[in-house]
Amino acid sequence: MTDTLIKVENVSKKFCRSLKRSLRYGIQDLGNELIGRRHGGNGELREDEFWAVKDVSFEVKRGECLGLIGRNGAGKTTLLRMLNGLIKPDKGRIEMRGRVGALIALGAGFNPILTGRENIYVNGAVLGLSKKETGNKIEEIIDFAEIREFIDSPVQSYSAGMTVRLGFAVAAALDPHILLLDEVLAVGDVGFQAKCLNTLSDFRKKGTGFVLVSHNMHQISRYCDQLLYLKGGHVAHCGDVESGIKQFLQHMDANQPSIETEATEWSRVYGSGKVILKNATFLDKDGLPVNHIRTGDTFSLAIDYECPGELVSDTILDIVIRDKEGTLYQGTSADYGVDFGLLSQAGRMIVTFEHMPANSTEVQFFLTLLNAKNGEIYDWKRHIRLKITNNAILNGRVSLTVSWALSNPILNQLEHRTRI
């Protein structure tokens, strides 16, 4: 038996933006099929039509997991629906070898009026199981879903998490050769997610192939062997997981606006002006000016100031660092026990960061000088940008400096006895 479970060759699917034209095109396509002509015409787009998926090709072998990523509207769910046979491609060829289990949409395949138990039997029948075969598995399904007290309630009364539990339990009980999963691990508590992942691991050992759609890059990088990145319905990347995620994140960053479009206004004073922030410069570990660093680098922020009038003391420097998702850090010199004392007429404050933890492509610094006793703001400067080359392997917002070790108590005792 061949090791290839899914084979997709140059598959394309088009839709129509106009409901009226969509109905007319559907009747035309049905008529063409009845007389043996190509479904959907010869590949040309008719008025108001667009390609939802265009010329996609890939293979999934036994025990492999293909990650499917892309922005909303990229064609991921359309591709899954074609793989599951819910809709037909307009061009190309799809080969699916073996029994397919699919969780493409929340509650898909469930009748909301029927109870959970009744829906299990209906789904089993749709997937080719006899009533007796489904009956033999129903207790296993109910136990896995952990919704026994609600199993005889209508599905329309279920929460999103309960619906996913039941859907996954039904799909898993069929012992499928192929599993299509669309964001199913995004709903549900941690315990159930762990159970699902362990079940997927067991299936993988048996040779089940997976297609996993997720916006969680951590899940994609951990569980997938290859990656398909769809961009506007086209294949932007197919192959290595790490490079595909890096390309996806770069495209996402390129399409997102900066944190703020406002520039730093050094010429204006926002405060009483007793101390004025004149300039800020980023320095690398060797003290050289930079405006671009890597995640994890050591760097410093040199802040030039001047006191135009009477010299002041009890000054606090407040720093806020924001990435594109919000505040990454906020702290003051007072929090770290730093007292600048009596400031000179002009000088420089230097703040050294031993490790840049932000795993982003840009951060912005917001600086405030204020009086420690009464909170008077002397000056406030915003949107000081620092570009960052992030670590594509790490998918979190923060990169921590860590070390890894394994401690073996038995070996440690033997070593201690040997020294004695």
Choice between 348 and 111, residue whose per-residue pLDDT is larger: 348
Average pLDDT over residues 382-398: 84
- pLDDT given for residue 379 in this prediction: 94
Instruction: Identify the pLDDT of residue 41.
Output: 55
| Bigger pLDDT: 343 vs 400 | 343
pLDDT of 174 > 60? The answer is yes
pLDDT at 377: 92
More confidently predicted of 397 and 78:
78
Work out the pLDDT band at 33, boundaries 50, 70, 90: confident
Residue 85 pLDDT grade (very low, low, confident, very high; cuts 50, 70, 90): confident
Poorest-pLDDT segment among 156-170, 333-347, 352-366:
156-170
- Between 224-228, 258-262, 373-377, 407-411, the lowest mean confidence (pLDDT) is in 258-262
Provide the CATH number for the domain formed by 276-389 in this structure: 2.70.50.60
Q: What is the pLDDT of residues 36-66, one digit of tens each?
A: 676 555 667 888 888 899 999 999 999 999 9
Question: Model pTM?
Answer: 0.68
Q: What is the pLDDT of residue 412?
A: 65
What's the pLDDT at 101? 77
pLDDT at 408: 73
Structure confidence at residue 333 as a pLDDT band (50, 70, 90): very high
Q: pLDDT-derived band of residue 104, with 50, 70 and 90 as boundaries?
A: low
Domain residue ranges of the chain, discontinuous segments joined by +: 4-255, 276-389
Q: What pLDDT is stored for residue 107 in this prediction?
A: 59
Segment of 222-231, 257-266, 405-414 carrying the highest mean pLDDT = 222-231
- Average pLDDT score over residue span 381-399: 84
Mean pLDDT of 216-227: 84
Please give the pLDDT value at position 272. 93
Please compute the mean of the pLDDT values over residues 61-72 and round it to a whole number.
92
Rounded mean pLDDT of 74-100?
Answer: 89
High-pLDDT (> 70) share of the chain, %: 90
Confidence of residue 171 (pLDDT cuts 50, 70, 90): confident
Closest listed residue to residue 167, CA positions, set 211, 124, 223: 124
Average pLDDT, the chain: 85
pLDDT above 70: residue 183: yes
CATH number 3.20.20.450 is the correct assignment for the domain at 4-255: no
pLDDT above 90 as % of the chain: 43
Instruction: Of 305, 235, 237, give the one whose Cα is nearest residue 276.
Output: 305
Bridging pattern class, strands 49-61 and 178-182? unpaired
Which range is least confidently modeled, 24-33, 159-168, 292-301, 346-355?
A: 24-33
Return the residue matching tokens 């410069």. 281
**The predicted structure's pLDDT at residue 69:** 93
- pLDDT at position 185: 66
Residue 196: the pLDDT is 81
pLDDT value for 307: 95
pLDDT at residue number 160: 80
Band the pLDDT of 354: cuts 50, 70, 90: very high
